[in-house]
Structure 1
Amino acid sequence: MKHLTRITFNPGVMGGKPCIRGLRVTVGMLIGLIASGHSTEEILEAYPYLEEEDLREALTYAAWRVEEVDIPLIVQ
């Protein structure tokens, strides 16, 4: 996976959820808007401080997270 420069994590911003460029805009919120049928143009109009590349990185991050495998640790 390419290095994502626009996805940030900060415990002091939105509880540490993945956000866009340190803003209070979570990846989950953007993915939800896209899944609800909102177009890129509609989202950028509603959130003028976002850029098209922010949406692309949010989708890239979400796709990566869906494919990630969690392996439970077995402590003996």
Structure 2
Amino acid sequence: MKNLERIVLDPAVMGGKPCIKGVRVTVGTIIGLLASGYSNEDILKMYPYLQIEDLKEALAYAAWRSEEIEVPLAIA
């Protein structure tokens, strides 16, 4: 994944969930709204401090994350 400019993961903010930088809106919130049928314009009206680039990067991050493979650690 390219360097994220708008998504941050900070344990002190929203329990470490990926969020839009500088605000407490999670990637999950944005993806959930899109999946529920809200348009980009609807979301930007609900969260006027967001920009379209925030929504695009949230979607790109979610797509990238969904392709990651988690492998359990072997216990010795």
1:40 aligned partner: 40
Q: Unaligned stretches of 5+ in structure 1?
A: none
2:25 aligned partner, one-letter code: V
The structure 1 segments of at least 4 consecutive aligned residues displaced by more than 2 Å after TM superposition are none
Stretches of structure 2 lacking an aligned partner (at least 5 in a row): none
TM-score of the superposed pair, with normalisation by structure 1: 0.94
Amino acid at match of 1:2: K
Percent pairwise identity:
64
Supply the distance in 1 between the matched residues of 2:72 and 2:7 (Cα, whole angstroms).
26
Give the number of aligned pairs.
76
Normalised by the size of structure 2, how large is the TM-score?
A: 0.94
User: 2:2 is matched by which residue type in structure 1?
Assistant: K
